[in-house]
């Protein structure tokens, strides 16, 4: 287990940007320290020999079943909008884009 992994506050900011998050200064400090520990621990995997091993992304044992390409009833507009924090009756409302 290595704790040498360098994770700077700038790295944390980059990760936050990818995640659409805005950590506070205090969080940046704390996360940088915690991410150093956690990513340092993850380095344990570098020692595992995976030469020629096919990655396993899903453990589903059937081939994946696609539904028929047929129209079916989904949520009504009212249902789809029911939990929207801001709506204008017919649509979700977002800040002006253009």
Partner 1 sequence: MTDICSLTLDAAAEALQKKELGAEEVAGACLDRIARTEPKISALLRTDGEKARARARELDKIGPDPSMPLFGVPVTIKDAICTRGLATTAASRMLEGFNPVFDAFAVEKLRAAGAVILGKTNMDEFAMGSTTENSAFQITRNPWNTDKVPGGSSGGSAASVTAGQCFASLGSDTGGSIRQPASLCGCVGLKPTYGRVSRYGLIAYGSSLDQIGPLTRSVADCARVFEVIAGHDRRDATSDPRPAGGYVAALDGKTLGGARLGLPKEFFGEGASVEVRAACAAALRAAESLGAELVEVSLPHTGAAVATYYIIAMAEASSNLARFDGVRYGRRAEGARNLEELYARSRSEGFGAEVKRRIMLGAYVLSAGYYDAYYRKAAQVRRLIRDEYLAALERCDVICAPVSPETAWDVGTHSADPLRMYLMDAYTLSLNLAGLPGLALPVGKGAESGMPVGMQLVGRAFGEAELLAYGHALERALPGIGVPAL
Residues that bind partner 1 (CB under 8 A): 12, 15-16, 18-23, 27, 30-31, 34-35, 37-39, 41-42, 44-46, 48, 50, 53-62, 64-67, 75, 79-80, 82-86, 92, 94-97
CA–CA separation, 18 and 13 (whole Å)? 9
Query: Tokens 């790295």 — which residue?
Result: 11
* Torsion on CA atoms 23, 27, 32, 35, rounded to nearest 10: -90
C-beta of 60: minimal distance to partner 1 in Å?
Answer: 5
C-beta of 19: minimal distance to partner 1 in Å?
Answer: 5
């Amino acid at each position: 287990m290595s704790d040498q992994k360098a994770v700077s506050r700038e790295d944390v900011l980059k990760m936050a940007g990818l995640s659409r998050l805005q950590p506070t200064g205090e969080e940046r400090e704390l996360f940088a320290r915690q991410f150093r520990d956690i990513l340092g621990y993850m380095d344990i995997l570098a020692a595992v020999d995976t030469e020629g091993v096919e990655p396993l992304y899903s453990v589903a044992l059937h081939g994946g079943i696609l539904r028929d390409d047929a129209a079916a009833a989904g949520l009504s507009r009212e249902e789809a909008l029911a939990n929207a924090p801001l709506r204008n009756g017919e649509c979700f409302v977002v800040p002006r884009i253009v």
